[in-house]
Chains A and B, each alone.
Chain A
């Protein structure tokens, strides 16, 4: 979790240099679910995510150097520069992909789970998405099918209350409870404090155990909050789309010091961890900056797997 925070703070710090020439959606403030689900899953389990995917990729064990290089559009990026921040992938870590259209990786995850069930292996698929995606038809369609076929899929919903600048209150009725919604679709659901890493981990492990036992899909709603702007490196509270004091209240619930307290980490422990991570991050950026861009002559390559004549 600290590693995710420090990586994203470094992205934010360097973004103004205009060398990462793609949109970035940072998870600063809402890292706990990514880290906790990452712990609950194995490398053989698959995960998919959204436009805001750095945290999920890293939490699942995705390669840091390949991610930073991807943000810089370099040939050494995890997609060779073809995806950017919103399309990350590391098959070795079981992070299948993130996609940029709200809700559209949810059916993909359910399809992967269908294949897992047909093969009869014990792996599962975890799909990360936000509260906005629960308003997409793709979510209902995919969750319905997952419940129908009792597929091994874990729906990990990070409810950070906002879809870009639009608050949940303008998008869903006040009486709406996302867990009740999931239950109505036939997916057992639980809500957890998404800024309490250990609570999320416990909920994730329970869900994973139930799925592995053949219990079908599970839905975990993690209530949390994005500190910075929807897209980009800055804070944007001055725009006034969030009530005054809301950000401060959530910052007071920062998941990092909370976990440090629970784990009784000393200041020295934390500094040592941060120093180790900083070295790793420094190297990732150094490598990314030094790496070549993919050759412009390759821009039209790979449209198809099997090229046809003519």
Chain B
């Protein structure tokens, strides 16, 4: 690690794209706004200047058509990386994703090396159609791989692996994580798909999380540590296929499970984890598993209505406390919020 400073996840994604495009001339990068002045939150900065407008290009506002075009290009030997500034717009492209990309290898036996970056908003009035976390939808479709990085190093390493994987990958970027600073290895350092990471080892409770919930869980784990409760935190990194070995091994060790999710509770990844762990690790469980996800409700827009909408570190601590029957909760060890609830930091002033 020769780099002195940390970088954020948006910069890490940009590095991954530069590396992939330099390494393989078949890598294409397109999506609405990739060459505009905002450069998809700076994740696509400098790509067109370096690799040319044939490989890096803005597109018509045609989510479904452009996804089909990406699949066609992938079938003809390219490695397209598409992006959408909000996942919600990509819902127009579900026909191409579900009926073509996901089924192609199974049906026709030929690979679809396609990566689709979808950014999921939160807060600042993103509201019902700019903040959906639909990882469970994508995970439900056989043939797709679904990746959810939770830090800067993984954003880079998992994106590199996704681009060079021969299957269609839905790469879900939580908008708040774009700002996450971290040490990121220089060069082509890939993080394997399908492998979870244990962010903190412990024996009290297994906490399974992905994407932004890993951040909240880390805060909760540190507060619980201060109270002598050592939780094991699993960052899934890939939610489909999911690293069941790591999850089961941990649950069998701790006997307790809390599954977290950035999406709505019903039919969630967290629900699937609770279901499978209950079926496969029943005899090891010392307490009923718990799940903490978003309410089955569209995200409200108003500053007032979102105040208690998102479960975070405090709710995680309360869940663990309930599960373990803790006499008191170490809430005082949680980081004090110095900013409004609807932004990732004081420096964030919108608009999206």
A96-144 interface with B by 8 A CB criterion: 96-97, 99-101, 104, 106-116, 118-119, 137-138, 140-142, 144
Q: Are B73 and A111 in contact (CB under 8 A)?
A: yes
Q: Are A116 and B76 in contact (CB under 8 A)?
A: yes
Q: Are B65 and A138 in contact (CB under 8 A)?
A: yes
Query: B145 contacts the other chain (Cβ, under 8 Å)?
Result: yes
Q: Are B194 and A310 in contact (CB under 8 A)?
A: yes
Q: Are B166 and A111 in contact (CB under 8 A)?
A: no
CA distance A106 to B95 in the complex (A): 12
- The verdict on A107 contacting B67 (CB below 8 Å), with A112-B72, A112-B73, A310-B194 known, is yes
Q: Are A310 and B68 in contact (CB under 8 A)?
A: no
Closest to A48 in B: B72
**Residues of chain B within 8 A of A144, CB atoms compared:** 60, 62, 65
Contact of A107 among B69, B107, B165 (CB under 8 A): B69
B265-287 interface with A by 8 A CB criterion: none
- The verdict on A104 contacting B100 (CB below 8 Å), with A82-B106, A89-B108, A309-B195 known, is yes
Contact mask for chain B residues 111-134; partner A; CB cutoff 8 A; 1 contact, 0 none: 110000000000000000000000
**Residues of chain B within 8 A of A305, CB atoms compared:** 105, 111-112, 166-167
**Residues of chain A within 8 A of B67, CB atoms compared:** 107
Q: Are A138 and B68 in contact (CB under 8 A)?
A: yes
Q: Are B69 and A142 in contact (CB under 8 A)?
A: yes
- The verdict on A83 contacting B65 (CB below 8 Å), with A108-B71, A110-B72, A308-B241 known, is no
**Residues of chain B within 8 A of A215, CB atoms compared:** none
Contact mask for chain B residues 172-185; partner A; CB cutoff 8 A; 1 contact, 0 none: 00000000000000
Q: Are A308 and B69 in contact (CB under 8 A)?
A: no
Report the interface size for chain A: residues with CB under 8 A from the other chain: 43
**Residues of chain A within 8 A of B167, CB atoms compared:** 304-306
CA distance A40 to B70 in the complex (A): 27
CB distance from B89 to the nearest CB of A (A): 13
Query: B143 contacts the other chain (Cβ, under 8 Å)?
Result: yes
Query: B6 contacts the other chain (Cβ, under 8 Å)?
Result: no
Chain A residues with CB under 8 Å of chain B are 46, 79-80, 82-83, 87, 89, 91, 96-97, 99-101, 104, 106-116, 118-119, 137-138, 140-142, 144-145, 148, 302-306, 308-310
CA distance A54 to B114 in the complex (A): 29
CA distance A119 to B194 in the complex (A): 33
**Residues of chain B within 8 A of A87, CB atoms compared:** 107-108
**Residues of chain A within 8 A of B288, CB atoms compared:** none
- The verdict on A111 contacting B245 (CB below 8 Å), with A101-B95, A101-B99, A303-B106 known, is no
Contact mask for chain B residues 88-112; partner A; CB cutoff 8 A; 1 contact, 0 none: 0000000110011000011111111
- The verdict on A111 contacting B107 (CB below 8 Å), with A137-B64, A141-B62, A303-B142 known, is no
**Residues of chain A within 8 A of B95, CB atoms compared:** 101, 104, 138
30 of the cross-chain contacts (CB-CB < 8 Å) are: A79-B107, A79-B109, A97-B75, A99-B99, A100-B99, A104-B68, A104-B96, A104-B99, A104-B100, A106-B68, A107-B64, A108-B75, A110-B65, A110-B68, A110-B69, A115-B72, A116-B76, A118-B55, A119-B77, A141-B66, A144-B60, A302-B109, A304-B143, A305-B105, A305-B112, A305-B167, A308-B193, A308-B241, A310-B194, A310-B243
- The verdict on A107 contacting B78 (CB below 8 Å), with A80-B109, A82-B106, A310-B242 known, is no
Among B64, B67, B72, B195, the one with the most A-chain Cβ atoms within 10 Å of its Cβ is B72
Q: How many A-B residue pairs have CB under 8 A?
A: 147
Q: Are A96 and B96 in contact (CB under 8 A)?
A: no
CB distance from B333 to the nearest CB of A (A): 34
Ordered nearest first, which 4 A-B pairs have the shortest CB separation? Answer: A111-B72, A107-B68, A141-B65, A308-B194
B126-183 interface with A by 8 A CB criterion: 142-143, 145, 165-167
**Residues of chain A within 8 A of B108, CB atoms compared:** 79, 82-83, 87, 89, 97
CB distance from B295 to the nearest CB of A (A): 30
**Residues of chain A within 8 A of B59, CB atoms compared:** 145
Contact of B65 among A119, A145, A309 (CB under 8 A): A145
CA distance A119 to B245 in the complex (A): 43
Q: Are B69 and A145 in contact (CB under 8 A)?
A: yes
CA distance A91 to B242 in the complex (A): 33
Closest to A151 in B: B69
Query: B45 contacts the other chain (Cβ, under 8 Å)?
Result: no
Closest to A117 in B: B54
**Residues of chain A within 8 A of B107, CB atoms compared:** 79, 82-83, 87
**Residues of chain B within 8 A of A109, CB atoms compared:** 72
Q: Are A111 and B194 in contact (CB under 8 A)?
A: no
CB distance from A16 to the nearest CB of B (A): 27
Closest to A107 in B: B68
**Residues of chain B within 8 A of A83, CB atoms compared:** 107-108
CA distance A116 to B242 in the complex (A): 36
Contact of B69 among A80, A91, A111, A140 (CB under 8 A): A111
CB distance from A92 to the nearest CB of B (A): 13
Extra pairs beyond A108-B75, A112-B72, A145-B59 (16, CB < 8 Å)? A82-B107, A87-B107, A87-B108, A89-B108, A107-B64, A108-B68, A111-B74, A115-B78, A118-B55, A138-B68, A303-B106, A304-B105, A304-B167, A308-B192, A308-B195, A308-B238
